[in-house]
Structure 1
Amino acid sequence: MYIYDEYDQQLLNERVAQFKGQMERYLDGKIAEDEFLPLRLQNGIYVQRYAPMLRVAIPYGALNTAQLRALAKVARDYDKGYAHFSTRQNLQFNWPKLEECPQILADLAEVQMHAVQTSGNCIRNTTTDEYAGVIAEEVTDPRPYCEIIRQWSTFHPEFAFLPRKFKIAVNAVPGADRAAIQMHDVGVNIVRNDAGDIGYRILVGGGLGRTPILGEEICSFLPEEDLLTYLDAIIRVYNQFGRRDNKYKARIKILTKALGIERMRELVDAEFDRIRDGAGKLTQEELQRVKKHFTDPAYRELQNNPAELEAAKAESPAFARWLGRNVRAHKKAGYAVVTLTLKQIGTPPGDVTAEQMDAVADLADKYSFGELRSTHQQNLVLADVEQSQLFALWQEAKALGLATPTLGLLTDMICCPGGDFCALANAKSIPVAEAIQARFDDLDYLYDLGEIDLNISGCMNACGHHHVGHIGVLGVDKKGEEFYQISLGGNSGGNHTEEASLGKILGPSFAREQMPDVIARILDFYVAKRSEGESFLEAYRRIGHAAYKEAVYGPAN
């Protein structure tokens, strides 16, 4: 993973010192509340329902064990002993004291971590596939390109105050999209042309929230060296023409829709032609400099399916089940990619205790070269585990509550913090998630259902990505009462990029206590009507929305 040089560290240290001074002046009453607001946002601090929230950047989800232990220490010393992994691969502390945030940031800077641009109207954390660099099917490792985007966008003076927040995602797997690039302001799909040259298919204008829109193709093939200048051109057009009079219409998706993709392309191409040969061109020298940070670890020469692994599978059906669900193939023979699920029943999805973080750091040191990744699904990944060590890892992970063999199944749900923490939420998300987890805790039933994405958001900001859940749940407010709206048929891309879709609202909302029964009716209908081998999403698309609506609400009058 990328290691800061002296220049990187100096920039970070200067930002920490700057914010410390700003905080001191604010607490002394020398900076007004409205003046302090953008300063704290630039350092990842929100004021939530009950306490501040500090969002720490995890660029493209990559962590080393020193960083994870530092996060655990923050949770223990400054928070309530736990933290929350978000759907953008970042980590959030929900209970820090405002006046202690500068010291938290100083502590994190010692391990090359920060909260810069995790909030505010700027370019946010660039995200990618949690399996980047360790799977055989990708065109190339996308992490160096993410790092290049991170370095270009961090502290970019022209893009510090955009009309609204701006998110970029990068994918490099043909026919699959675990980075959900169609749901981002800009999606970068790394591809090869017929000549074998690396380039990018660029999408623009995607996003969820109040107005969910799928991104559209603005460039079918962009040469490798033009990545930053083309992104620069897009954001300059957005900065110039994006609305600032209405925050609900300020995202680039609204601008793209208003202009139309053809006119948007004309404006971007004109700006790109003006700057494409400037200093922003990505040279091979710069690309190779960054790529040197992402070389393979010291893999051993091993064979797939060693005897000890096969023996453990035969002796332990529970291990075999976890192996089939939470472990996937690695590009290197004898290794595997392991997902540790943060979805134990009774625990909010994505939450992890300080003790668990320390323990996972120990696991990563012991089994995966001291590195790990956070995922869009609010889980953790150990990317380089020897197959002969999988049984030992499983035993340790199970003791920590991190080996629930449900990856991709109904209870591996995405869930935002909701009304338990967020001041923007209309309803609580966590109790709904816990009620559904408790209702559907039979593994045989979950495996029979197959892969189902269940996403829960507490408000229209869609931090839980409910729009792209196969089953989406949205918290709504009805005269001060919490209710929940269901949508069906969403898909973030997953294993089929061309099948990305937005869910369609099923009908009137439900009270919280009704939600497990409502989900049960949807699932019962799917089980009764599916064809052999047909997934939930495939069945929904074949059977149609109206039939599911009738199954839940009864025949229309």
Structure 2
Amino acid sequence: MYVYNDYDQQLVDDRVDQFREQTQRYLAGELKDEEFLPLRLQNGLYVQRYAPMLRVAIPYGMLSSAQLRKLADISEQYDRGYGHFSTRQNIQFNWPKLETVPDILAELASVQMHAIQTSGNCIRNTTTDQFAGVLADEVVDPRPYCELIRQWSTFHPEFAFLPRKFKIAVNSAAHTDRAAIQVHDIGVQIIRNANHELGYRIYVGGGLGRTPMVGQVITEFLPEEHLLTYLEAIVRVYNQHGRRDNKYKARIKILVKALGIEAFRTRVEQEWVHLKNGPSTLTQAEIDRVAKHFSAPDYAALPSESAAVEALKADSKRFRNWVERNTTAHKIAGYTAVTLSLKKTGVAPGDIYAKQMRAAAELADQFSFGELRVSHFQNLILADVRQEDLPALWEAAKAQGFATPNIGTLTDIICCPGGDFCALANAKSIPIAEQIQARFEDLDYLYDLGDIELNISGCMNACGHHHVGHIGILGVDKKGEEFYQISLGGASNQNAAIGKILGPSFKADEMADVVEKIIDVFVEQRTEEELFVDTVNRLGITPFKERVYA
């Protein structure tokens, strides 16, 4: 993973000192609330329902075991002993005291972490595939390109106060999208052209929130060296022409829709003339400088299968379920990628306690070269596990609550913190997730249903990505009461789609029943080998609507 040089470290250390002084001035009454607001947002600090919330950057989801142990220490010393992994591959602390936040930032800086640009109207954390660098279907490892974008966008002087927040995602899988790039402000698909030259297909104008949209292709092939200059041209056009009079119409998706993709492309091309082949053009030396941080670990020469693993799979249904659901084929023979589920029933999806953080760090040291990944599905990944170590890892994961064999199933729920924490939320999210998980605890039934993505958001900001869930749940407020709206048919993969709203919303205590009725229609109507989202796309929402509102 990327390791700071002296310049990087000095930058982060100076930022801590700067914010410490700003916080002291605010607490002393020398800065007004409106003056402190942009300063705290630039350092990832929100004011939530009950306490401040600090969002810590985990660039493109990469964590070292040392960093995870530091997060555990911070959660115990400055918070309430746990953190929450978000759909942006970051971690959030929900209970820090304002006066201690500079100390937290100093602790983070000691392990090359920060909270810079995790909030505010700026370019946020760049995200990518949680299996980056380890699966055989990649064009190249996308992480060096994510790091190049991170370095370019951090403290970019033009883009500190954009019309609205700005999110970029990068995908390199050749035939699928594991980074949801089409529902980001900019989506970068790494490709090769007919001449086998490396480059990018760029999407623009995607996003969720109040007005969900799937991004449009602005260029089919951008040569490798022009990544940063072209992204800069896009963001410049947005910065110049995006609306600032209405925050609900300020995202780039609104500008792209208003202009039309052709007119928007023309403006970007006109701006790019001044940037193309300029100082931000990538040289091979610069690409190599960053890429060397992501070289392959010291893999051993191993057989493609482990006899001990196959024997245990035959003997233990529980182990077999875990292997089938929570492991992913690796490009190196004898290795596998393992997902540690943070979706155990009764625990808020994405939450992790300090004890678990330390345990996960120990598992990473023991089984996966000391590194972990955070997925936008709010789980942890050990990317480089020897197959022969799977039985031992399984036992250790079970002891820590990481071995729920539900990855990709209906209970592997994406869920925002909702009204339990967030001041913006209209309704609670976590109790709805728990209610549905409890209803669908039968693993045999879950596996028979196949892959289903269920996403829950507590408000229209869509932090739970409900618009692109196969089943999406949105919390709404009706005269002070919490209700929930259902959508069906969303998708965040290469066939990205916004779900269609089923109809009027439901009370909280009805939600598990409603989801069960939806699933019943699927079971009755599906064809052999058809997944839930395929059935919805084939039938439309009418049969589901008729059952639910009967």
In structure 1, what is the Cα distance between the partners aligned to 2:95 and 2:436? 26
Helix, strand or coil at the partner of 1:372: strand
Q: Deviations over 1:23-52 (max 9, x none)?
A: 011111111111000000000000000000
Matches within 5 A, 1:1-12: 1-12=1-12
Instruction: Give yes or no for the alignment of 1:441 onto 2:464.
Output: no
The separation in 2 between residues aligned to 1:541 and 1:120, in whole angstroms, is 37
Residue in 1 aligned with 2:123? 123
Indicate if the aligned counterparts of 2:202 and 2:222 stay in contact, CA closer than 8 A. yes
Q: Deviations over 1:399-436 (max 9, x none)?
A: 11101000000000000000000000000000100111
**RMSD of aligned residue pairs (Cα, Å):** 0.5
Pick from 518, 524, 527: which aligns with 2:520? 524
Name 1:37's counterpart in structure 2: 37
Q: Kindly state the Cα deviation for residue 315 of structure 1 after the two structures are TM-superposed.
A: 2.1
Query: Which amino acid is the alignment partner of residue 529 of structure 2?
Result: G
Q: Give the secondary structure class of the aligned counterpart of 1:318.
A: helix
2:331 maps to what in 1?
331
1:325 and 1:115 map into 2 onto residues whose CA distance is: 33
SS in 2 for 1:303: coil
Find the counterpart in structure 1 of residue 498 from structure 2.
502
Which amino acid is 1:186 matched to? I
The superposition leaves residues 196-219 of structure 1 with CA deviations (integer Å, 9 ceiling, x where unpaired) of 010000000000000000000000
2:455 match: secondary structure: strand
In 1, Cα distance between the equivalents of 2:192 and 2:164?
Answer: 32
Map of 2:291 onto structure 1: 291
User: 2:521–2:543: 8 Å Cα contact kept in structure 1?
Assistant: no
1:37-91 residue CA offsets vs partner (Å, 9 max, x unmatched): 0000000000000000000000000000000000000111111111000001000
Give, in whole Å, the separation in 2 of the partners of 1:510 and 1:137.
41
Deviation digits for residues 429-449 of structure 1, max 9, x if unmatched?
001001111111110110111
What's 2:362 paired with? 362
Work out the CA distance in 1 between the residues paired with 2:163 and 2:529: 46
3-state SS in 2 of match to 1:157: coil
The aligned counterpart of 2:532 is 536
**Cα distance in structure 1, aligned partners of 2:12 and 2:108:** 10
Alignment partners' CA distance in 1, 2:53 and 2:116: 14
Residue identity in the other structure for 1:502: I
**Aligned amino acid, residue 55 of structure 2:** R
What TM-score do you get using the length of structure 2 for normalisation? Answer: 1.00
Tell me what 1:133 maps to.
133
Q: For the residues of structure 2 that align with 1:474 and 1:307, how far apart are their CA atoms?
A: 46
What is aligned with 1:300? 300
- Three-state SS of the structure 1 residue aligned to 2:273 is helix
The structural deviation recorded for 1:317 is: 1.4
**What is the DSSP-based 3-state SS (H/G/I as helix, E as strand, rest coil) of the residue aligned with 1:282?**
coil
Classify the secondary structure of the residue corresponding to 2:274.
helix
Correspondence for 1:50: 50
CA contact (8 A) 2:440 2:446 kept: yes
Question: CA offsets, 1:132-180, max 9 Å, x none?
Answer: 0001110000000000000000010110000000000000011210100
- Shift of residue 273, structure 1, vs aligned partner: 1.5
Alpha-carbon offset, residue 275 of structure 1: 1.2
- Segment drifting more, 246-255 vs 305-314: 305-314
The amino acid of 2:534's aligned partner reads E
Could you say which residue in structure 1 is the equivalent of 2:22?
Answer: 22
How far off is 1:543 after superposition? 1.3
CA shift for structure 1 position 468: 0.3
**One-letter amino acid of the structure 1 residue matched with residue 30 of structure 2:** K
Within 5 Å, which residues of 2 pair with 1:245-260?
245-260=245-260
Q: Secondary structure at the match of 2:46?
A: strand
Q: Is the 8 A contact 2:460 2:474 kept in 1?
A: yes
1:410-421 aligned within 5 A: 410-421=410-421
Q: Distance in 1 between matches of 2:277 and 2:357?
A: 46
Deviation at 1:274, TM superposition (A): 1.8
Q: Which runs of 4+ in 1 moved over 3 A?
A: none
What runs of 5+ residues in structure 1 fail to find an aligned partner? none
Shift of 1:278: 0.9
Cα distance in 1 between the residues matched to 2:19 and 2:312: 53
Equivalent residue letter for 2:83: A
Aligned residue in 2 for 1:461: 461
Distance 1:153 1:411 in 2: 36
CA distance in 1, matches of 2:207, 2:315: 47
**What residue number does 1:492 align with?**
492
Paired residue type of 2:145: Y
CA deviations 1:452-493 (Å, max 9, x no partner) are 000000000000000000000000000000000000000001
Name the counterpart of 1:270: 270
- What CA distance in whole angstroms lies between the structure 2 residues aligned with 1:553 and 1:314? 44
> Could you tell me how far apart the structure 1 residues matched to 2:447 and 2:310 are?
22
1:390 corresponding residue in structure 2: 390
For 1:191, what is the secondary structure of its paired residue? Answer: strand
Shift of 1:346: 0.2
Distance, in Å, in 2 between the alignment partners of 1:306 and 1:396 is 19
Conserved 8 A contact 2:182-2:492: yes
Greater mean deviation of Cα atoms: 272-281 or 14-23: 272-281
Q: Report the Cα offset of residue 547 of structure 1.
A: 1.5
Deviation at 1:544, TM superposition (A): 1.4
Secondary structure of 1:274's aligned partner: coil
**Paired AA for residue 18 in structure 2:** Q
Tell whether the 8 Å contact from 2:319 to 2:394 is kept in structure 1 after alignment: yes
Instruction: Name 1:315's counterpart in structure 2.
Output: 315
- Please state how far the C-alpha of 1:308 moved relative to its aligned partner: 1.6
Q: Is the contact made by 2:137 and 2:175 (CA closer than 8 Å) also made in structure 1? A: no
2:200 counterpart SS class: strand
- Would you say 1:553 and 2:549 are equivalent positions? yes
In 1, Cα distance between the equivalents of 2:331 and 2:529?
Answer: 28
For the residue of structure 2 that corresponds to 1:158, the secondary structure is: coil
**Which residue does 1:200 correspond to in 2?**
200
Q: Structure 2 unaligned runs (5+)?
A: none
Q: Partners of 1:32 and 1:162 in 2: how far apart?
A: 22
Q: Deviations over 1:202-244 (max 9, x none)?
A: 0000000000000000000000000000000000000000000
Secondary structure of the residue aligned to 2:158 is helix
The CA distance in 2 between the partners of 1:79 and 1:545, in whole Å, is 44
**What is the DSSP-based 3-state SS (H/G/I as helix, E as strand, rest coil) of the residue aligned with 2:366?**
helix
Q: Give the AA of the match of 1:210.
A: R
Aligned equivalent of 2:507, options 484, 494, 511: 511
Give 1:162's aligned amino acid. L
Q: How far, CA to CA, are the matches of 1:67 and 1:506 in structure 2?
A: 43
Q: TM-score, normalised by structure 1?
A: 0.98
Secondary structure of 1:12's aligned partner:
helix
Identity %: 67
Q: Note the alpha carbon deviations across 1:294-343, whole angstroms, 9 max, x for none.
A: 00001001111121211221221111110011101101111000000000
SS of the equivalent of 1:95 reads: coil
